[in-house]
Amino acid sequence: MAMTPVRIAVRGFHSVRVPPEQATVHATLSGEGRSAEPVFQAVAAALAEVRGSLESRHHPGGPVTRYAVDQVRTGSHRPFHPDGEQLPPVYTASVSITATFTDFDDLAAWVRWGAQIGGLGIAHVDWALTAASRRKVERKTRRRAVRDARRRAQDYADALDLGPVEVSSISDPGIGGPGQRTVLMAAASAAPAAGPAEFALRPDEVEVAADVEAVFTVRGGA
């Protein structure tokens, strides 16, 4: 009499670390002062310099693949003196800038140049793969996650002296339910390089990870 098939549910996981291929810098250009017009003019003048520096790099084969200037903000507020007296208005203006670099040495040079622009601050840098590379690496990572799930299921089956497992169902936690999705993570550090007032960016590798939930069945024998 044949035994009821044994059901084995497992989760497979795999991750790899690869060097980043592009960096998106997030910056803000801001200014403030007692008069609105001079503040806006100063920010606009600085923005023209920043835009020009990025535009000169944004061409086929250039180090900047895209850039954007958006989220313009203006406002004013009336600060208080320590003795409680309300002071005249202070006017503010700011604009957000993002730019994607594929040449990290040029990014370091641009950040150094930007330090001379009054009001320009670098918030953070996102390190990533190109879309084509990301798809390629994710595909390999998912396949290896599936193989890991099969190995886990077979280990359980072997521990029970059962035969080869057969896949019954498989799901991506990012689609079929909660769980870890394919992720891209990276960090970076800046370190001194040769020469005064110069630095080089040494980004950490990008981690690409994927997991899969799978159900296998195996017959227990006669």
Question: Got the DSSP string for 40-84?
Answer: HHHHHHHHHHHHHHHHTT-STTSSEEEEEEEEEEEEEE--B-TTS
Distance between CA atoms of 43 and 30, rounded to whole angstroms?
6
164: pLDDT strictly greater than 90: yes
192: pLDDT strictly greater than 90: no
Residue ranges of domains in the chain:
6-19+132-218, 22-128
In total, the chain counts a number of residues equal to 222
Percent of residues, the chain, with pLDDT higher than 70: 85
Helix axes 104-114, 36-55, angle to 10 degrees: 160
Distance between CA atoms of 60 and 117, rounded to whole angstroms?
27
Structure confidence at residue 198 as a pLDDT band (50, 70, 90) = low
pLDDT recorded at residue 180: 31
Structure confidence at residue 175 as a pLDDT band (50, 70, 90) = very low
Same fold for the pair 6-19+132-218 and 22-128:
no
201: pLDDT strictly greater than 90: no
What is residue 115's three-state secondary structure?
Answer: coil
Q: Which CATH architecture describes the domain 6-19+132-218?
A: 2-Layer Sandwich (3.30)
pLDDT in tens, 80-125: 888 888 888 899 999 999 999 999 999 999 999 999 999 999 988 9
Fold classification of 22-128 (topology level):
Alpha-Beta Plaits (3.30.70)
